[in-house]
Structures are given as structure tokens and as C-alpha cells.
Structure 1
Amino acid sequence: MTLDQKSDKDHRWWLLTVAWVIAFISTLSALFIGEVLGQTPCTLCWYQRICMFPLAIILGIASYQSDIKVVWYALPLSVIGLCIAAYHSLTYSGYIAEPIVPCGQDSSCTGSNMTILGGISLPYLSLAAFFLITFLLITLFRKIKT
């Protein structure tokens, strides 16, 4: 193995590991908000969790085993989560005039208790997490093809 091949392999592993760290922190955060703080997630948050929770496990195992072929089954989950998070963010910001169900009943993404770092809302954080994971996986996919 030449030095260039080793460097490229290390770069791929870092892309995978960073994607896993983002998914893992997102999963722990969602669990903390739901289980410790007792905040019931809205319907769109549930759908995003359905995509994020498996990513934390799949990317963690792939990172540990240096399995870069994980992109084939992690990228679809990430893209679906990204689409849901984008829709959720557009609904949250008011660009799509539709209430987030069941927001406004028992739980609400618009409440001040659903923001961190001085007002960054959870829908935007989820969008950022899915975007970064998708970007990293697409970058990894491009490296596999070259």
C-alpha cells in the first residue's frame, strides 16, 4: 500500500467517523429531549428520528470496521431524513402554511423550550445534522468511485 492509498483510506475513515459522531450526538440529544426533559416530539420529529436512530448504529459499526460501502445503505436514510427535515423547517418558518401535527397540542416545535444556543430551533438543528451527514456520505461516495 502506497502512502497516497493510505492517506486516502484515512481520509475516508475520517469522513465516516465524523458522520457517525453527528448521528450519535443527534440521537443522544433526541433521546435526552424526549426521555429526560419529557418533551413529546411532533409527527415530523418522529419521522426524522426513524431515519436518524439507525444511522447512529449503522455508521458506528461501519466506522469501527472501516466499511466505506456503508454509503449504499446509509445515504438513502440520510437523504430521506434530510427531505423530512427540510419540509419540517419550511413549515416551522412559515414558508409552508400548514400546522405541524401535533404541534400546538401537547408538544410544540415553536416553544422557547425547544431552542438551544440562544434561539436555534430543533427543526433547524435536525436539518443541519442531516445535511452534514448527507454531504459527508456523498463525499465518501465520490471517493469510492475514484
Structure 2
Amino acid sequence: MSQPSRTVPLGTRQLLGFATLVAAVATAGSLYFSLGVGLTPCRLCWYQRILMYPLVVVLGVAAFERRAEVARTVLPLAVLGGSISAYHSWLQVSQSSCGLGAVSCSAVVYRVVGFSIPNLALMAFSLVVASVGLAWWQRG
């Protein structure tokens, strides 16, 4: 007797694919700011990168395999990255210096459509959390 096939909720691949795209754009953007524009990342930017870069591969594989359970791996990384981004954004509006390294984490050195780089990272981490969370919730 064959086992019934497990149905995958419609949209899991799309949600995980969208999260992959967001992580890939964030990764490419951070590399562009470093290598293309020549900005030196501060310590908090490095922490955010460490948490964002692996998401491209992890989410890409999960999207291909329609594995919403990847949320157990992705959500801790994305929530921690989002928390660091939120703290970094807060530093930029409330502090004159941060003392975490040679490059000040509180300095806004570049804006994209009015958003600082930590603001963009916060948006990216938030979109990843929302997309992966929804895919996981839909899995039934």
C-alpha cells in the first residue's frame, strides 16, 4: 500500500523564493557598498553580514525543496540580524559615536532613497522573517 503524498501549501516555494531574493539583494548590496563604493563596514555591519549571507544559500535550497521547516534555522538568524539592525539604526539617530571600532557605527555615511544602510538591512531581515514565518505557518 502506497502512502498518500503530502500536499505542500500553495505559495511555499514563492514565499521562500521571495525571501531568497531579498537575502540575495541584501548580500549583493552590502558587497556593492564595500567593493564598488569603497565604504568600510563598521563592526555592527559585519555582524549583520554574518547573519545575512548564509540565508541566501539556506533559503535557496529550502525554496527549491519547498521546505518551510527551514524556519527553525532561518528565523533565529533573521531575528538576531534584525535586532542588530534595529540597534544600529537607533545608534544612528541617537548617538554621536559608538566606540565599537575604527569606523563609527553611529555615522550615516550613505543613504539609498533616504534610508541608511542599517535601515535597509532591517527592512531585509523583516521581509525574510515575514516571508519565512508565513511559509512555516501555512505548512499546516
User: What TM-score do you get using the length of structure 1 for normalisation?
Assistant: 0.82
Q: Is 1:133 matched up with 2:128?
A: yes
Q: Shift of the alpha carbon at 1:44? A: 0.5
Structure 1, unaligned runs of 5 or more: none
- Cα 1:133–1:109 change in 2 (3 A) is farther
User: Does the 8 A contact of 1:109 with 1:123 survive in 2?
Assistant: no
1:83 aligned onto 2:83: yes
Q: How many residues align?
A: 136
Identity %: 32
Give the CA deviation at 1:47: 0.3
What is residue 27 of structure 1 aligned with on the other side?
A: 27
Instruction: Tell me, yes or no, if structure 1 residue 116 matches structure 2 residue 103.
Output: no
Structure 2 residues not aligned, in runs of 5+: none
What is the alpha-carbon root mean square deviation over aligned residues? 2.4
Matched, 1:101 2:100: yes
| Larger helix share, 1 or 2 | 1
CA shift, 1:86, in A, is 0.8
How big is each residue's C-alpha offset from its partner over 1:111-142, in whole Å with a ceiling of 9 and x where there is no partner? Answer: 2xx1112x211111111111111111211221
